[in-house]
A = this chain, B = another copy of it.
Protein backbone atom coordinates (compact mmCIF):
# COMPACT_ATOMS: atom_id res chain seq x y z
CA UNK A 1 0.00 0.00 0.00
CA UNK A 2 1.14 3.61 -0.61
CA UNK A 3 3.12 5.26 2.18
CA UNK A 4 1.43 7.21 4.95
CA UNK A 5 3.26 9.37 7.45
CA UNK A 6 2.59 11.04 10.76
CA UNK A 7 3.44 14.69 10.22
CA UNK A 8 2.71 15.91 13.73
CA UNK A 9 1.04 14.96 17.00
CA UNK A 10 -0.54 16.62 19.98
CA UNK A 11 -2.62 15.81 23.03
CA UNK A 12 -4.02 17.30 26.19
CA UNK A 13 -2.95 16.13 29.59
CA UNK A 14 -5.29 13.29 30.48
CA UNK A 15 -7.20 13.58 33.74
CA UNK A 16 -10.55 14.41 35.25
CA UNK A 17 -11.92 17.69 33.94
CA UNK A 18 -14.95 19.46 35.35
CA UNK A 19 -18.00 20.70 33.47
CA UNK A 20 -16.22 23.83 32.28
CA UNK A 21 -14.05 21.71 29.97
CA UNK A 22 -16.19 20.11 27.29
CA UNK A 23 -15.59 17.09 25.06
CA UNK A 24 -15.20 19.55 22.19
CA UNK A 25 -12.72 21.73 24.05
CA UNK A 26 -10.47 18.76 24.84
CA UNK A 27 -10.53 17.76 21.18
CA UNK A 28 -9.87 21.28 19.94
CA UNK A 29 -6.85 21.65 22.20
CA UNK A 30 -5.36 18.35 21.02
CA UNK A 31 -6.19 19.08 17.40
CA UNK A 32 -4.60 22.52 17.51
CA UNK A 33 -1.46 21.05 19.09
CA UNK A 34 -1.19 18.47 16.30
CA UNK A 35 -1.77 21.07 13.59
CA UNK A 36 0.91 23.33 15.04
CA UNK A 37 3.35 20.44 15.40
CA UNK A 38 2.80 19.47 11.75
CA UNK A 39 3.23 23.02 10.55
CA UNK A 40 -0.30 22.71 9.14
CA UNK A 41 -2.64 25.60 8.59
CA UNK A 42 -6.37 24.96 8.32
CA UNK A 43 -6.50 25.04 4.51
CA UNK A 44 -4.02 22.15 4.43
CA UNK A 45 -6.48 19.77 6.11
CA UNK A 46 -8.72 17.85 3.71
CA UNK A 47 -10.70 15.62 6.08
CA UNK A 48 -11.17 14.84 9.76
CA UNK A 49 -11.46 11.34 11.25
CA UNK A 50 -12.70 11.15 14.84
CA UNK A 51 -12.71 8.17 17.20
CA UNK A 52 -14.91 8.25 20.31
CA UNK A 53 -17.42 6.06 22.13
CA UNK A 54 -19.58 8.30 24.29
CA UNK A 55 -19.53 11.63 22.44
CA UNK A 56 -22.98 11.17 20.92
CA UNK A 57 -24.07 11.45 17.27
CA UNK A 58 -21.94 13.63 14.98
CA UNK A 59 -19.65 14.63 17.85
CA UNK A 60 -16.79 14.76 15.37
CA UNK A 61 -18.61 17.37 13.32
CA UNK A 62 -19.07 19.55 16.39
CA UNK A 63 -15.35 19.22 17.09
CA UNK A 64 -14.39 20.06 13.50
CA UNK A 65 -16.55 23.17 13.57
CA UNK A 66 -15.00 24.36 16.83
CA UNK A 67 -11.56 23.65 15.38
CA UNK A 68 -12.29 25.96 12.47
CA UNK A 69 -12.49 22.97 10.14
CA UNK A 70 -16.24 23.05 9.57
CA UNK A 71 -17.29 22.02 6.09
CA UNK A 72 -14.71 19.29 5.63
CA UNK A 73 -15.51 15.59 5.29
CA UNK A 74 -15.84 14.37 8.88
CA UNK A 75 -16.53 10.82 10.01
CA UNK A 76 -17.01 9.23 13.43
CA UNK A 77 -15.53 5.81 14.17
CA UNK A 78 -16.29 3.56 17.10
CA UNK A 79 -14.61 0.32 18.15
CA UNK A 80 -14.84 0.79 21.93
CA UNK A 81 -11.37 1.25 23.49
CA UNK A 82 -9.86 0.81 20.01
CA UNK A 83 -11.88 3.72 18.57
CA UNK A 84 -8.98 6.16 18.28
CA UNK A 85 -6.81 3.65 16.47
CA UNK A 86 -9.77 2.74 14.23
CA UNK A 87 -10.06 6.39 13.21
CA UNK A 88 -6.36 6.32 12.32
CA UNK A 89 -6.97 3.19 10.27
CA UNK A 90 -9.68 4.91 8.23
CA UNK A 91 -7.42 7.90 7.63
CA UNK A 92 -4.61 5.58 6.57
CA UNK A 93 -6.96 3.85 4.10
CA UNK A 94 -8.23 7.16 2.70
CA UNK A 95 -4.66 8.33 2.06
CA UNK A 96 -3.64 4.96 0.65
CA UNK A 97 -6.66 5.11 -1.68
CA UNK A 98 -5.37 8.43 -2.98
CA UNK A 99 -8.37 10.46 -1.82
CA UNK A 100 -6.48 12.84 0.49
CA UNK A 101 -2.94 14.02 1.15
CA UNK A 102 -3.30 15.71 4.56
CA UNK A 103 -5.90 14.77 7.18
CA UNK A 104 -6.43 15.22 10.91
CA UNK A 105 -7.15 12.23 13.15
CA UNK A 106 -8.57 12.72 16.63
CA UNK A 107 -9.38 10.43 19.53
CA UNK A 108 -11.43 12.01 22.28
CA UNK A 109 -13.52 11.08 25.30
CA UNK A 110 -15.08 12.90 28.24
CA UNK A 111 -15.79 9.97 30.50
CA UNK A 112 -16.48 11.88 33.70
CA UNK A 113 -19.50 13.53 32.01
CA UNK A 114 -21.01 10.57 30.28
CA UNK A 115 -20.38 7.49 32.37
CA UNK A 116 -19.91 8.67 35.91
CA UNK A 117 -20.26 5.14 37.29
CA UNK A 118 -17.89 3.48 34.86
CA UNK A 119 -18.54 1.67 31.60
CA UNK A 120 -21.84 -0.22 31.80
CA UNK A 121 -21.95 -3.64 30.16
CA UNK A 122 -24.06 -4.05 27.05
CA UNK A 123 -27.33 -5.82 27.87
CA UNK A 124 -26.38 -8.52 25.36
CA UNK A 125 -23.28 -9.33 27.45
CA UNK A 126 -24.94 -11.83 29.76
CA UNK A 127 -21.79 -12.67 31.70
CA UNK A 128 -21.21 -9.04 32.57
CA UNK A 129 -24.88 -8.50 33.38
CA UNK A 130 -24.51 -11.30 35.93
CA UNK A 131 -21.48 -9.78 37.57
CA UNK A 132 -18.59 -10.99 35.43
CA UNK A 133 -17.58 -7.39 34.75
CA UNK A 134 -14.29 -6.24 33.33
CA UNK A 135 -12.34 -6.19 36.57
CA UNK A 136 -13.57 -9.67 37.50
CA UNK A 137 -12.43 -10.96 34.12
CA UNK A 138 -8.95 -9.55 34.52
CA UNK A 139 -8.72 -10.82 38.11
CA UNK A 140 -9.51 -14.33 36.86
CA UNK A 141 -6.94 -13.85 34.13
CA UNK A 142 -4.36 -13.00 36.82
CA UNK A 143 -5.30 -16.03 38.94
CA UNK A 144 -5.08 -18.28 35.91
CA UNK A 145 -1.75 -16.79 34.88
CA UNK A 146 -0.24 -17.35 38.32
CA UNK A 147 -1.56 -20.91 38.45
CA UNK A 148 -0.43 -21.82 34.94
CA UNK A 149 3.00 -20.23 34.96
CA UNK A 150 4.03 -20.03 38.61
CA UNK A 151 4.07 -16.26 38.34
CA UNK A 152 3.85 -14.24 41.52
CA UNK A 153 1.45 -11.52 42.58
CA UNK A 154 4.50 -9.28 42.89
CA UNK A 155 5.45 -9.81 39.25
CA UNK A 156 1.99 -8.67 38.16
CA UNK A 157 2.09 -5.69 40.50
CA UNK A 158 5.44 -4.69 39.02
CA UNK A 159 3.64 -3.67 35.81
CA UNK A 160 2.04 -0.83 37.77
CA UNK A 161 5.32 0.05 39.48
CA UNK A 162 7.08 0.19 36.10
CA UNK A 163 4.41 2.18 34.27
CA UNK A 164 4.00 4.70 37.08
CA UNK A 165 7.79 5.11 37.14
CA UNK A 166 7.74 5.87 33.42
CA UNK A 167 4.87 8.33 33.81
CA UNK A 168 7.00 10.67 35.91
CA UNK A 169 8.57 11.78 32.65
CA UNK A 170 5.31 12.26 30.72
CA UNK A 171 3.76 15.70 31.14
CA UNK A 172 0.54 14.45 29.50
CA UNK A 173 -0.06 11.62 31.99
CA UNK A 174 -2.99 11.75 34.42
CA UNK A 175 -0.69 10.46 37.21
CA UNK A 176 2.95 11.48 37.21
CA UNK A 177 4.31 9.98 40.37
CA UNK A 178 6.09 6.71 41.14
CA UNK A 179 4.38 4.07 43.24
CA UNK A 180 6.19 1.40 45.26
CA UNK A 181 5.56 -2.32 45.07
CA UNK A 182 4.17 -2.11 48.59
CA UNK A 183 1.70 0.58 47.57
CA UNK A 184 0.40 -1.58 44.72
CA UNK A 185 0.16 -4.70 46.89
CA UNK A 186 -1.55 -2.86 49.74
CA UNK A 187 -3.89 -0.74 47.64
CA UNK A 188 -7.65 -1.02 48.15
CA UNK A 189 -8.68 -4.47 46.85
CA UNK A 190 -10.88 -4.47 43.74
CA UNK A 191 -11.08 -8.09 42.58
CA UNK A 192 -8.64 -10.58 44.07
CA UNK A 193 -5.70 -10.39 43.40
CA UNK A 194 -6.06 -6.97 41.76
CA UNK A 195 -6.12 -3.77 43.76
CA UNK A 196 -6.98 -0.27 42.64
CA UNK A 197 -3.42 0.41 41.44
CA UNK A 198 -3.72 -2.57 39.07
CA UNK A 199 -6.58 -0.77 37.28
CA UNK A 200 -6.52 2.10 34.80
CA UNK A 201 -8.57 5.10 35.90
CA UNK A 202 -11.64 6.87 34.51
CA UNK A 203 -10.23 9.73 32.46
CA UNK A 204 -11.00 12.58 30.12
CA UNK A 205 -8.73 13.49 27.26
CA UNK A 206 -7.98 13.89 23.59
CA UNK A 207 -5.07 13.09 21.31
CA UNK A 208 -4.49 13.90 17.66
CA UNK A 209 -2.17 13.49 14.72
CA UNK A 210 -1.82 14.97 11.26
CA UNK A 211 -1.49 12.10 8.79
CA UNK A 212 -0.09 12.58 5.29
CA UNK A 213 0.88 11.10 1.98
CA UNK A 214 4.42 11.85 0.74
CA UNK A 215 2.90 14.70 -1.27
CA UNK A 216 1.18 15.91 1.89
CA UNK A 217 4.52 16.14 3.71
CA UNK A 218 5.83 18.30 0.86
CA UNK A 219 2.74 20.47 1.01
CA UNK A 220 3.38 21.10 4.72
CA UNK A 221 6.96 22.03 3.95
CA UNK A 222 8.33 19.17 6.04
CA UNK A 223 11.84 18.24 5.02
CA UNK A 224 13.01 15.98 7.87
CA UNK A 225 11.98 12.36 8.36
CA UNK A 226 8.62 11.51 9.84
CA UNK A 227 7.33 8.17 11.20
CA UNK A 228 5.62 6.02 8.59
CA UNK A 229 2.48 4.02 9.35
CA UNK A 230 3.67 0.64 8.13
CA UNK A 231 0.60 -1.41 8.91
CA UNK A 232 -2.54 -1.50 11.00
CA UNK A 233 -4.12 -4.77 12.05
CA UNK A 234 -7.81 -4.94 12.94
CA UNK A 235 -9.58 -8.10 14.02
CA UNK A 236 -12.61 -8.95 16.09
CA UNK A 237 -13.58 -12.00 18.08
CA UNK A 238 -13.57 -13.62 21.42
CA UNK A 239 -11.61 -12.17 24.30
CA UNK A 240 -11.56 -15.38 26.24
CA UNK A 241 -12.34 -18.75 24.79
CA UNK A 242 -13.17 -20.33 28.14
CA UNK A 243 -12.17 -20.52 31.78
CA UNK A 244 -9.14 -22.66 31.04
CA UNK A 245 -8.08 -20.54 28.09
CA UNK A 246 -8.52 -17.19 29.80
CA UNK A 247 -5.10 -16.04 28.65
CA UNK A 248 -5.00 -17.61 25.24
CA UNK A 249 -5.17 -14.14 23.64
CA UNK A 250 -6.03 -15.53 20.24
CA UNK A 251 -7.39 -12.11 19.32
CA UNK A 252 -4.05 -10.45 20.11
CA UNK A 253 -2.14 -13.06 18.14
CA UNK A 254 -4.27 -12.54 15.04
CA UNK A 255 -4.09 -8.75 15.25
CA UNK A 256 -0.34 -8.89 15.60
CA UNK A 257 0.12 -11.29 12.70
CA UNK A 258 -1.99 -9.06 10.48
CA UNK A 259 0.02 -5.94 11.36
CA UNK A 260 3.41 -7.67 11.06
CA UNK A 261 2.47 -8.98 7.62
CA UNK A 262 1.25 -5.62 6.34
CA UNK A 263 4.33 -3.90 7.74
CA UNK A 264 6.60 -6.68 6.47
CA UNK A 265 8.50 -6.80 9.75
CA UNK A 266 9.73 -9.40 12.21
CA UNK A 267 8.22 -8.63 15.63
CA UNK A 268 11.62 -9.34 17.14
CA UNK A 269 12.79 -6.08 15.54
CA UNK A 270 10.29 -3.93 17.45
CA UNK A 271 12.13 -1.45 19.67
CA UNK A 272 9.31 -0.58 22.07
CA UNK A 273 5.58 -1.05 22.55
CA UNK A 274 2.67 1.10 23.67
CA UNK A 275 0.39 -1.52 25.20
CA UNK A 276 -3.25 -1.54 26.28
CA UNK A 277 -2.59 -2.11 29.99
CA UNK A 278 -6.14 -1.42 31.16
CA UNK A 279 -5.14 -3.76 34.02
CA UNK A 280 -1.64 -4.84 35.05
CA UNK A 281 -2.16 -8.47 34.04
CA UNK A 282 -3.48 -7.41 30.63
CA UNK A 283 -0.08 -5.96 29.69
CA UNK A 284 1.59 -9.27 30.39
CA UNK A 285 -0.81 -11.62 28.62
CA UNK A 286 -1.17 -9.36 25.59
CA UNK A 287 2.59 -9.05 25.11
CA UNK A 288 2.64 -12.84 25.11
CA UNK A 289 -0.36 -13.07 22.78
CA UNK A 290 1.34 -10.75 20.32
CA UNK A 291 4.38 -13.00 20.30
CA UNK A 292 6.64 -10.33 21.77
CA UNK A 293 7.47 -12.31 24.92
CA UNK A 294 7.42 -16.12 25.29
CA UNK A 295 4.21 -17.39 26.89
CA UNK A 296 4.53 -17.56 30.67
CA UNK A 297 7.60 -15.34 30.86
CA UNK A 298 5.91 -11.96 30.99
CA UNK A 299 5.86 -11.82 34.76
CA UNK A 300 9.54 -12.58 35.01
CA UNK A 301 10.44 -10.11 32.23
CA UNK A 302 8.56 -7.41 34.09
CA UNK A 303 10.18 -8.21 37.43
CA UNK A 304 13.64 -8.24 35.89
CA UNK A 305 13.15 -4.88 34.20
CA UNK A 306 13.18 -6.19 30.62
CA UNK A 307 10.03 -4.15 29.85
CA UNK A 308 11.24 -1.04 31.69
CA UNK A 309 12.90 1.95 30.09
CA UNK A 310 16.46 0.80 29.44
CA UNK A 311 15.37 -2.84 29.23
CA UNK A 312 15.34 -5.25 26.34
CA UNK A 313 11.80 -4.32 25.17
CA UNK A 314 10.49 -1.17 26.85
CA UNK A 315 6.72 -1.32 27.22
CA UNK A 316 4.61 1.76 27.86
CA UNK A 317 7.30 4.42 28.10
CA UNK A 318 4.38 6.86 28.31
CA UNK A 319 3.12 5.30 31.53
CA UNK A 320 0.43 3.37 29.69
CA UNK A 321 -3.25 3.38 30.49
CA UNK A 322 -2.46 2.75 34.17
CA UNK A 323 -0.70 6.12 34.55
CA UNK A 324 -1.45 8.22 31.48
CA UNK A 325 -5.15 7.45 31.99
CA UNK A 326 -7.72 5.83 29.73
CA UNK A 327 -10.29 8.09 28.08
CA UNK A 328 -11.42 5.17 25.96
CA UNK A 329 -11.81 6.72 22.50
CA UNK A 330 -8.65 8.80 22.96
CA UNK A 331 -6.29 6.05 24.07
CA UNK A 332 -5.40 4.72 20.60
CA UNK A 333 -4.33 8.15 19.43
CA UNK A 334 -2.44 8.87 22.67
CA UNK A 335 -0.44 5.71 21.96
CA UNK A 336 0.26 6.99 18.45
CA UNK A 337 1.41 10.33 19.90
CA UNK A 338 3.90 8.44 22.05
CA UNK A 339 5.16 6.42 19.06
CA UNK A 340 5.62 9.69 17.18
CA UNK A 341 7.46 11.51 19.98
CA UNK A 342 9.74 8.56 20.67
CA UNK A 343 10.62 7.98 17.01
CA UNK A 344 11.21 11.72 16.56
CA UNK A 345 13.50 11.78 19.60
CA UNK A 346 11.20 14.20 21.42
CA UNK A 347 10.23 12.08 24.42
CA UNK A 348 12.35 13.91 26.98
CA UNK A 349 13.15 12.01 30.16
CA UNK A 350 11.46 8.86 28.88
CA UNK A 351 13.26 8.83 25.49
CA UNK A 352 14.27 5.42 24.15
CA UNK A 353 17.51 6.16 22.34
CA UNK A 354 17.75 4.96 18.79
CA UNK A 355 14.20 3.61 18.54
CA UNK A 356 13.30 3.04 14.90
CA UNK A 357 10.39 0.55 14.91
CA UNK A 358 7.50 0.69 17.34
CA UNK A 359 4.07 -0.77 17.83
CA UNK A 360 0.93 0.18 19.69
CA UNK A 361 -1.85 -2.16 20.65
CA UNK A 362 -5.45 -1.36 21.59
CA UNK A 363 -8.26 -3.65 22.59
CA UNK A 364 -11.91 -2.74 22.89
CA UNK A 365 -15.02 -4.73 23.59
CA UNK A 366 -17.29 -6.43 26.02
CA UNK A 367 -15.89 -8.55 28.78
CA UNK A 368 -17.25 -12.03 28.31
CA UNK A 369 -16.18 -11.92 24.75
CA UNK A 370 -18.46 -14.31 22.97
CA UNK A 371 -18.89 -11.26 20.81
CA UNK A 372 -18.00 -7.63 20.59
CA UNK A 373 -14.26 -7.54 20.94
CA UNK A 374 -12.06 -5.66 18.54
CA UNK A 375 -8.37 -5.06 18.44
CA UNK A 376 -6.06 -2.78 16.55
CA UNK A 377 -2.33 -2.97 16.18
CA UNK A 378 -0.42 -0.10 14.66
CA UNK A 379 3.17 -0.48 13.48
CA UNK A 380 5.17 2.68 12.90
CA UNK A 381 8.78 3.07 11.82
CA UNK A 382 11.14 5.90 11.04
Instruction: Give A residues with C-beta under 8 Å from B.
Output: 1-2, 24, 47, 53, 56-58, 61-62, 64-66, 70-80, 86, 89-90, 92-94, 96-99, 122, 124, 234-238, 254, 364-366, 370-374
| Copies of this chain in the oligomer | 2
Closest 10 CB pairs of A and B: A96-B97, A65-B371, A73-B234, A76-B78, A58-B372, A74-B236, A97-B97, A71-B237, A93-B93, A61-B372
- What separation, in Å, do the CA atoms of A47 and B234 have in the docked complex? 9
Give me 16 other A-B pairs in contact (C-beta within 8 A), A62-B371, A70-B238, A71-B235 excluded.
Answer: A1-B97, A58-B364, A58-B366, A65-B370, A65-B371, A66-B371, A70-B236, A71-B237, A71-B254, A75-B79, A76-B77, A76-B79, A90-B93, A92-B97, A93-B96, A94-B97
A contact patch SS: mixed
Question: If the complex has contacts A94-B93, A372-B65, are A77 and B80 also in contact, measured as CB distance less than 8 A?
Answer: no
Bound complex: CA A47 to CA B90 (Å): 13
Question: Using Cβ atoms and an 8 Å threshold, which residues of chain B touch A373?
Answer: 58, 61
Check B80 against A374 for contact (C-beta < 8 Å): no
Given A61-B372, A61-B373, A97-B96: A236 and B72 interface contact (C-beta under 8 Å): yes
Cα distance, A71 to B1, chains bound together (Å): 23
Q: Bound complex: CA of A94 vs CA of B90, how far in Å?
A: 8
Contacts of A75 in B (CB 8 A): 77, 79, 86, 89-90, 234, 374
* A378 shortest CB reach to chain B, Å: 14
In the complex, chain B residues whose CB is within 8 Å of the CB of A57: 53, 78, 80, 122, 364, 372
Question: Could you tell me the distance between the alpha carbons of A75 and B56 in the complex, rounded to whole angstroms?
Answer: 17
In the complex, 30 of the A-B residue pairs with CB atoms within 8 angstroms, ordered by the A residue number, are A1-B99, A2-B97, A47-B234, A56-B122, A57-B78, A57-B80, A57-B122, A58-B78, A58-B364, A61-B373, A61-B374, A65-B236, A65-B372, A66-B371, A70-B236, A70-B371, A71-B254, A72-B235, A74-B79, A74-B236, A75-B79, A75-B86, A75-B234, A75-B374, A76-B79, A92-B97, A93-B93, A93-B94, A93-B97, A96-B96
B371–A71 touching, CB < 8 Å:
no
- Chain B hits for A94, CB < 8 A: 93, 97
B-chain residues with CB within 8 Å of residue A47 when the two chains form the complex: 234
> What's the minimum C-beta distance from A120 to chain B, rounded to whole angstroms?
10
State A46–B90 Cα separation when bound (angstroms): 16
- Chain B residue numbers with a CB within 8 Å of A76 are 77-79
